[in-house]
Chain A
Amino acid sequence: MNQLSLLAFEFPPINMLLRWQDVLPTVNKVVLIGFASALIGMGIFLAAARKDPKKAPKGARNLAEVIIDFIEKQIIMQTMGPSGLAWTPFLLSIFIFIYLSNVPGVIPIIQMPATARMGIPAFMALMVWVVYNATGIKHQGPLGYFKSVLFPPGVPKALYILVTPIELISTFIVRPFSLAVRLFANMLAGHLLLVIFALLSEALFQARDRILIPVGVLPFAVLLFLTGFEVLVAFLQAYIFTTLTAVYINMASHAEH
């Protein structure tokens, strides 16, 4: 394996950090995190559903209701309005699944966000692409949808030469690509930063030259800060992905006037 070496610090090959051995046939750590995300999400809602709804919510029920309220009030009502409330289960599932796939990046021992691999973000973006295009076709008809996307009203006809190719690329290629890459790249970058600072701290704490040992406190402090920051990023990326999904579905549902 190739290793990047800088003085005594050795950085392992990137594939060693991202590619995991299968623990079962075709099932590796990333797949297991995906399973765990779905199971935890279902577990919370199952526990919530089994509690008496007439009592004041607490524990799992409170958590589930807070998440539903957050999705409805902070995402759907802000981007789609009341007509978008039917999308709550879909957007809720996206948010929970992505968040629970992101968070293991800062959980000790696991320390790997499932979304730092392209598989899950690519599928999620592709699914959102299919959903918003299908919604557009359902609400406006195939001709009406493609017309409203490719020939936005209010634009001088001469500009369609420029606007139509831009809209075509933007709506059908860039949107899913940017959705997937934004999530994947942010989580991958965060994961690599944590690895770099963890290895740097370790290298300095174990340095032969004793004068370097106290210096290890600096990268360790940055590591702690970045760990806290990654908790925020895990939430933020799930929020951004879900919000953009809501925006795309809403734009596809309503023809521009």
Chain B
Amino acid sequence: MAILVNKNTRVLTQGITGATGQFHTRACKEYGTRMVAGVTPGKGGTSFEGIPIFNTVWDAVAAMKIDSSVIYVPPSFAADAIMEAVDGGIELAVCITEGVPINDMVRVKRYLEGKKSRLLGPNCPGVITPGECKMGIMPGHIHRAGHIGVVSRSGTLTYEAVDQLTGLGLGQSTCVGIGGDPVYGLGFVDVLKLFNEDPETHAVVMIGEIGGSAEEEAAVWIKANMKKPVVGFVAGQTAPAGKRMGHAGAIISGGKGTAQEKMAALKAAGVRMAPSPAEIGATMKQVLESAR
């Protein structure tokens, strides 16, 4: 089961001939993901590692069955690539690219309205269902198949949490990076809904960070709907106001979006907050043991 992607997911790479696209397409293929096609305008008719390349998404979906697309194209072309995937009827587009202009994403979100496609990212590590499908840039070897769902705004902090879980023998159903930008596709609530309905997922780790109000909105939803235990962490408790902390979306502005506010909201919604980023796995283990 798991969510979003599984062993049957047939994946397209947009931007397959760039250095990043090549490196990660190869790594995902080695992991066992069904990398079935690539798109780079002007390179149609050629191939990479035996994967056929097309000029347009339209050509690719006309030639073969494709479920999902992973996007590595440069920031100035990323929004167009996402909309091309959506137009091609791709079920899930995952945009890894960092640095996409916010205005471009505002237009993408508007374009997505009423369409059946889902978007993950941009500026995210992607999504992985361990042992089945890796779509993105996360190191595959730290993951292990199991029953913990992971959803996060971060990249490497997610790897840290996954590594802790795996080290404690807690495998993952699916790990989803929603990205560090202020305007993005699937959010915490969308992913939590999927985990809530997925029988393979028994509990969820949710990792937030400063900026915006996505964690507060998730807290409201969790309190009203979540049937499974959630362990949380919010990065940036020591971050100063008004400074962008690496991620475009990680900024406390007008006194809003602090880690303290977010942690309080999640705690009030019944989320068990990890006392430190080094204890995300241990907190999950405690929660599962006390539930038994």
A and B interact physically? no
Give chain A's interface residues, CB within 8 Å of chain B.
none
What residues of chain B have their CB less than 8 Å away from a CB belonging to chain A? none
